[in-house]
Structure 1
Amino acid sequence: MNLFQLRAFDAVAREGSFTRAAERLFISQPAVTGHVKQLEEHYQVNLFRRTARSVELTEEGRRLAAISRTLFALEEEAETLLDANRKLLSGRIEVAADGPHLVMPMLARLRARYPGITVNLRLGNAQETLNALLSEHVDIAVVTEVDERPGLHLRELVESHLCALLPQGHAWCERSDGIPLEELDQQIMVLREPDSITRRTFDRACQARQVQPLVQLELDSREAVTEAVAAELGIGIVSSLEVSRDPRVRAVPLLGEGLAPRHSIGCLERRRGLRVVSAFMELAEEGAS
């Protein structure tokens, strides 16, 4: 087997793009395309479905990608073992997070200490972020409400707290001591999508107390929730880590149990020894202490 061809395939599978795969490997796009084509022709198999706008793995491609990720991860671990004392003057780390507020200060500390490290950051909801880590599409993930599991190394960073997001002028805006969750019963709400950790945490707390808010609008971003609240379409729910500085809205803490999500940083246990991964974990823990 030609490992140059397999490495090109692995890069396209990870990036979902021949162009980004070329950037990842520091070679030209035609070279990547050629390597993948030669691999497919030699083994008489289609590894990708190509359209004008996207590249998707076939079933055979998905099975091969699972092997290639493991193969090249082991290669990286071997290189790290042989080069353990070398300074982090250059390199690349793939990071995923379910929100920007915790991860950005980490990236700032990484840049200050290791300016030669290139970071690829992916932002998504909580499930997308965890899936990216477990499928080895990223090296590090900042996640919320994830429990310990075999093969996963987690370090808790901080707890946040859910707040009611209100339009300025709302009667509850001056309740700085907080709003009991029960008072949201039958209140018109504008919330994130059901897969959002903020939404799931809020829903569980409401179910435990038999609180039934009137959810009349579901939105797929924090920014959209802020705009809806500012337009007085209902009360929103936000994490205390994500409170907007928008003068049109105000966040007031919610009172009750089960309203404090846990935020952690994690990596796969077997990749914990990679130098760039361990350096990032150390910086994250320094910031949390």
Structure 2
Amino acid sequence: MNLFQLRAFDAVVREGSFTRAAERLCISQPAVTGHVKALEEHYQVQLLRRTARQVEPTELGRCLAAISHQLFALADRAEDLLDSSQALTSGRLDLAADSPHLVMPLLARMRERYPGVRINLRLGNTQETLTALHGERVDLALVSDIAPRAGLHLLPLGEARLCLLLPAAHPWIGSREDVALHELRGEVLLQREPGSLTRRTFERACASQELELPADLELNSREAVIEAVAAGIGVSVIYGQEAPKDPRVKVLPLKGEGLVSRHFLACQQRHAELRVVKAFFEVAGDVGYPSP
């Protein structure tokens, strides 16, 4: 088997794109395409299904990727072992995160301590971040409310609590110190998409109080929610650390149980001893996060 061809296939599956795979491997996109095509033609199989928007592995491709991910993870560990006596002056780290506000201090500290390490950051909602982690498309992930499971290495980073985001002119501003969930009846409620941790935490808290507070408008990003609230369309929920410094909006604490989420840095257990991954965990351990 040609390992250059297999490495190209593995990179395409991890990245979901021939272009991003080429960037990952520091070779041209036609070279990646050629390697994968040669691998498929040699074994007379189809490993990837190409669509207009993305590249996905076939069933055989998924089975092969499960092996190739482990194979090249071991190769990375071998290279890491051989380089262990040297300073961490180069390398690449693929990171996913569901909260830019939590991950940016880590990136700043990592860049300060190891400026030669190239970091590729993927931002998405919690479900997208978990998918990248479990699919081994990234080396590690900063993700919220992840359940411990065999094969995962987790580092708790702290907690965050939901609060209410309102237009600055809302009558509750200046007249209330906090708001109970049931008081949101009658308000136009703006919500994130279902895969968002904010949405899931809020709905879980409502369910614990047997409340039904459906979304009047669904928006697929934190920035869109903030702009909609600033425009006076309605109110929403947001984690306290993510509240913007924007005079157009204000926040009030929410009363009730189940409004707190825990944040973790996570990686596959077999990647935990890779030097660059271990270095990032050490940096994360040095950065303090406030409690809600």
Counterpart of 1:161 in 2: which secondary structure? strand
Tell me the equivalent position of 1:159. 159
- Given residue 91 of structure 1, which amino acid in structure 2 is its aligned partner? G
Alpha-carbon distance between aligned partners in 2 of 1:185 and 1:204, rounded to the nearest angstrom: 16
Alpha-carbon distance between aligned partners in 2 of 1:81 and 1:90, rounded to the nearest angstrom: 14
Tell me the equivalent position of 1:135. 135
Alpha-carbon distance between aligned partners in 2 of 1:53 and 1:211, rounded to the nearest angstrom: 39
Matched, 1:8 2:4: no
Alpha-carbon distance between aligned partners in 2 of 1:5 and 1:199, rounded to the nearest angstrom: 42
The structure 1 segments of at least 4 consecutive aligned residues displaced by more than 6 Å after TM superposition are none
Instruction: Kindly state the Cα deviation for residue 14 of structure 1 after the two structures are TM-superposed.
Output: 1.5
Give the fraction of aligned pairs with identical amino acids, expressed as a percent: 60
- Given residue 241 of structure 2, which amino acid in structure 1 is its aligned partner? L
Instruction: Kindly state the Cα deviation for residue 214 of structure 1 after the two structures are TM-superposed.
Output: 4.8
Alpha-carbon distance between aligned partners in 2 of 1:283 and 1:29, rounded to the nearest angstrom: 34
Tell whether the 8 Å contact from 1:265 to 1:281 is kept in structure 2 after alignment.
Answer: yes
Tell me the equivalent position of 1:119. 119
Matched, 1:173 2:173: yes
Question: Structure 1, residues 78-105: CA drift from partner, whole Å, max 9, x if none?
Answer: 2222322221110000000012111011
Tell me the equivalent position of 2:78. 78
Tell me the equivalent position of 1:64. 64
Matched, 1:263 2:278: no
Q: Return the TM-score normalized by structure 2.
A: 0.93
Tell whether the 8 Å contact from 2:22 to 2:28 is kept in structure 1 after alignment.
Answer: yes
Question: Structure 1, residues 118-159: CA drift from partner, whole Å, max 9, x if none?
Answer: 011111111111121112111111111112111111111111
Tell whether the 8 Å contact from 2:14 to 2:138 is kept in structure 1 after alignment.
Answer: no
Alpha-carbon distance between aligned partners in 2 of 1:117 and 1:226, rounded to the nearest angstrom: 33
Tell me the equivalent position of 1:99. 99
Counterpart of 2:280 in 1: which secondary structure? helix
Q: How many residues align?
A: 289
Instruction: Kindly state the Cα deviation for residue 56 of structure 1 after the two structures are TM-superposed.
Output: 2.7
Counterpart of 2:158 in 1: which secondary structure? strand
CA RMSD of aligned residues (A): 1.7
What are the equivalent positions in structure 2 for 1:203-282 lying under 5 Å apart? 203-282=203-282
Instruction: Kindly state the Cα deviation for residue 218 of structure 1 after the two structures are TM-superposed.
Output: 1.2
Instruction: Kindly state the Cα deviation for residue 51 of structure 1 after the two structures are TM-superposed.
Output: 4.3
Tell me the equivalent position of 1:148. 148
Alpha-carbon distance between aligned partners in 2 of 1:19 and 1:223, rounded to the nearest angstrom: 28
Question: Structure 1, residues 173-230: CA drift from partner, whole Å, max 9, x if none?
Answer: 1256322223223432111122211111111111212333352111111111112212
Classify 1:143/1:51 alpha carbon distance in 2 versus 1 (closer, same or farther; 3 Å).
closer
Classify 1:48/1:214 alpha carbon distance in 2 versus 1 (closer, same or farther; 3 Å).
closer
Instruction: Kindly state the Cα deviation for residue 21 of structure 1 after the two structures are TM-superposed.
Output: 1.8
Q: Give unmatched runs, 5+ long, in structure 2.
A: none
Alpha-carbon distance between aligned partners in 2 of 1:6 and 1:80, rounded to the nearest angstrom: 20
Instruction: Kindly state the Cα deviation for residue 167 of structure 1 after the two structures are TM-superposed.
Output: 0.7
Q: Give unmatched runs, 5+ long, in structure 1.
A: none
Alpha-carbon distance between aligned partners in 1 of 2:256 and 2:51, rounded to the nearest angstrom: 50
Q: Return the TM-score normalized by structure 1.
A: 0.94
Alpha-carbon distance between aligned partners in 2 of 1:178 and 1:134, rounded to the nearest angstrom: 38
- Given residue 173 of structure 1, which amino acid in structure 2 is its aligned partner? I
Tell me the equivalent position of 2:48. 48
Counterpart of 1:261 in 2: which secondary structure? strand
Tell whether the 8 Å contact from 1:186 to 1:214 is kept in structure 2 after alignment.
Answer: no
- Given residue 132 of structure 1, which amino acid in structure 2 is its aligned partner? A
Counterpart of 1:56 in 2: which secondary structure? strand
Classify 1:192/1:175 alpha carbon distance in 2 versus 1 (closer, same or farther; 3 Å).
farther
Tell me the equivalent position of 1:26. 26
